[in-house]
Every structure is written in C-alpha cells, then in structure tokens.
Amino acid sequence: MKTPHLEIVGGGAVPLSGHCSSCPDVKFYPTEKTAGEIQKRAEMKAAFDRHFIQKHLRDDASQAAARIVREATQD
C-alpha cells in the first residue's frame, strides 16, 4: 500500500495547485497573498500535512479497508 502524498501540478507561468494522491477530490491551493513558487509549495505542503494527519492517520478499520480496495483497483 502506498503512502498518500502531495501531488503538485503547475509551476512557473502556470498557477500551482495540488491534490492528495489517495483522495482525488481533495485539492490544495495557495492563497493569493502567497508570493513565490517556493512559498506556495510550502503552504500547500502544510495544508496536505494537516489533511494527512486528520484523514489518513485516523482511519478506522472500515475506512482503511475501503481505501485499500479503492487503491488496489485504481489504474
């Protein structure tokens, strides 16, 4: 089973966004006030870390089973 991780899309001239590799509907966007790509990546990483702790470290048995089946049947 793969550990969920942050996948970042874009950069440079394209605005950055990110999502959880295990939760495709969970998106992360930097705030408009954040300047610079490094700061934007850091802000999204912090948001992902909060998501990871809340959702992936606290799975109960039924949630974990459903997630494992979903991950195994992807692709």
Q: How much is the pLDDT for 1?
A: 57
Between 58 and 21, the higher pLDDT residue? 21
Residue 69: its H or E element: helix 61-72
Q: How much is the pLDDT for 66?
A: 75
* Tokens matching residue 51: 């998501």
Mapped onto helix, strand or coil, the DSSP state of residue 63 is helix
Q: What is the largest CA-CA distance in the chain?
A: 43
In this predicted structure, the answer to whether residue 4 has a pLDDT above a threshold of 60 is yes
Residue-wise pLDDT tens digits, 10-54:
877 677 899 999 998 999 998 888 788 888 899 999 999 999 988
Segments making up each domain of the chain, as ranges: 6-72
